Chains A and B, each alone.
Chain A
Amino acid sequence: MSDVIWTTLKLASLTTLLLLILATPLAWWLARQKVWWKEIIAALAALPIVLPPTVLGFYLLLLLAPSSPLMELLHPFGIQSLAFTFPGLLIGSMVYSLPFAVQPIRNGCEAMGDRPMEVAATLRATPLNAFFTVAVPQARRGFLTAAVLVFAHTVGEFGVVLMIGGSIPGQTEVISVKLYQLVESLQFSEAHKIAAGLLGFSFVVLLTMFLTERGSRKTAP
């Protein structure tokens, strides 16, 4: 049992960390760009919200399988396949939760407007320095929301994990799939513990987020 929880937490933490790093440049670009076709990119990045997780999982399975063109490129490096492995699961989780990172960060950066970055530039801050010392603190609520949503969404994901994870104990077996297997084998008392645990966890996450937002709204000018 502790194996499952550990795998789930490891997956959720790594997904959150890597996705914040990768989604931030994209969200920043979407917030600052003025060209109309950026919305095509925005729509592509938002696709995982509306796509059934099984559809996403199916395509990812094809992409991560040994015979896929992508994996063939990696064969010389000793990587045959990423399907049914933890790295594969991590990639799947990141694709699945991408919109939950991009959207709040984009909103946060858009709400800030152009002025703070202009002010920073007239005060000798290089663009990169201004990004970290002005944009990130100004849009901190967007980053916080993104982190919480991605983490919670990853803990709760089921369809993608089922398709590409393979539920190997200690490697890719996560809590939501474990619950499904317990119910299938009629172990209801074990299933109750996991279900109630996840319910409580989700509630606490959302409550923490709402209280934080309320707090930062109060102190905002």
Chain B
Amino acid sequence: MSGVGETNGIQAEFDGRLGRFQLKVSLHIPPNGITALVGPSGAGKTSLLRAIAGLTRLPGRVAMDGEVWQEGRRFVPVHQRALGMVFQESSLLSHLSVKDNLLFGYRRALKPKSMRLDEVVPLLGLEPLIGRSTDNLSGGERQRVALGRALLSQPRLLLMDEPLSSLDAQSRAEILPFLEALHRTLSIPVLYVSHDAEEVARLADHVVTLNAGQIVGPIQPAIPDLLSSLSPDQIKDLARQALAVGIKPNPQVR
């Protein structure tokens, strides 16, 4: 594990066929903050995420903070990669309770364990769910448990594949504040696939656009990118609306 500045974060290069199109990307994800991966459906966003996780094998190279996960014939299996993954649809293990789901990865993670159950539970508001079975949870509750479970597996990289897309507007509104709180406390890089502009605007520090298996343009800082297309009057208007619904300026966003 070398500590050269350039090797911090995720370095991922792939060039391989996947169904109808060629996934040909070279990507560097900064070592902290949320990087949104956006693009039309079928652009290869999920495939790229799965290839980084090692769930799909594509020719290429993946390194995390200089630790090589894939290179040439070397391929570190998924369970040996320190990553957490939140899938698009509910992926709770139905034979386990909420608590056992949360602890599934925690029990198998290597020490030292920096994420503890008594920290993650309040962070995601899981107190009322912890004693329950996974049946009869709402979509938003299920995704919060899935997120908590991923965090407790002590990841050094968090991959989220459109975690809100299977939820209705109400569940989405309920879970977004938790994601924002997470954003402020989490010190690991997050790669967040989304096609929702609001999610990206509220959560992302950087934006990568993928189209037909290729990255379009350079990696963008999220908010300036969004605002550059608006006139000053429109921005003022947007700020007024934001203040009216109770969104306060976040000192961390410059």
Chain A residues with CB under 8 Å of chain B are 115-116, 118-127, 129-130, 134, 137-138, 140, 219-221
Indicate if B134 sits at the interface (CB-CB under 8 A). Answer: yes
Residues of chain A within 8 A of B77, CB atoms compared: 121, 127
Q: Is chain A's interface secondary structure helix, strand, loop, or mixed overall? A: helix
Q: Which of A122, A127, A130, A140 has the most CB of B within 10 A?
A: A122
Q: Which of B55, B87, B91, B104 has the most CB of A within 10 A?
A: B104
Indicate if B147 sits at the interface (CB-CB under 8 A). Answer: no
Q: How far is the CA of A137 from the CA of B100 in the complex (A)?
A: 14
Selected from B79, B91, B95, the residue in CB contact (under 8 A) with A125 is B79
Given contacts A122-B78, A123-B105, A124-B108, contact A138 B93 (CB under 8 A): yes
Beyond A120-B93, A124-B80, A125-B79, list 4 extra A-B contacts (CB 8 Å).
Answer: A118-B91, A119-B91, A122-B84, A123-B149
Q: Which of B87, B95, B135, B150 has the most CB of A within 10 A?
A: B95
| Total residue contacts A-B, CB cutoff 8 A | 63
Indicate if B94 sits at the interface (CB-CB under 8 A). Answer: yes
Q: How far is the CA of A151 from the CA of B79 in the complex (A)?
A: 37
Chain B 138-150, CB within 8 Å of chain A: the 1/0 string?
0000000000011
12 A-B pairs within 8 Å (CB atoms) are namely: A120-B79, A121-B55, A122-B105, A122-B153, A123-B104, A123-B105, A123-B153, A124-B108, A124-B109, A125-B104, A134-B93, A220-B94
Expressed in whole angstroms, the minimum distance between the Cβ of A89 and any Cβ of chain B is 37
Expressed in whole angstroms, the minimum distance between the Cβ of A219 and any Cβ of chain B is 7
Of the four ranges (under 10, 10 to 19, 20 to 34, 35 or more), the interface on chain B belongs to 20 to 34
B94 engages A138 (CB within 8 Å): yes
Indicate if B36 sits at the interface (CB-CB under 8 A). Answer: no
Task: Give the 7 A-B CB pairs with smallest separation, nearest first.
Answer: A123-B105, A124-B108, A121-B78, A137-B95, A122-B85, A121-B79, A119-B91
Q: Which of A124, A127, A134, A138 has the most CB of B within 10 A?
A: A124
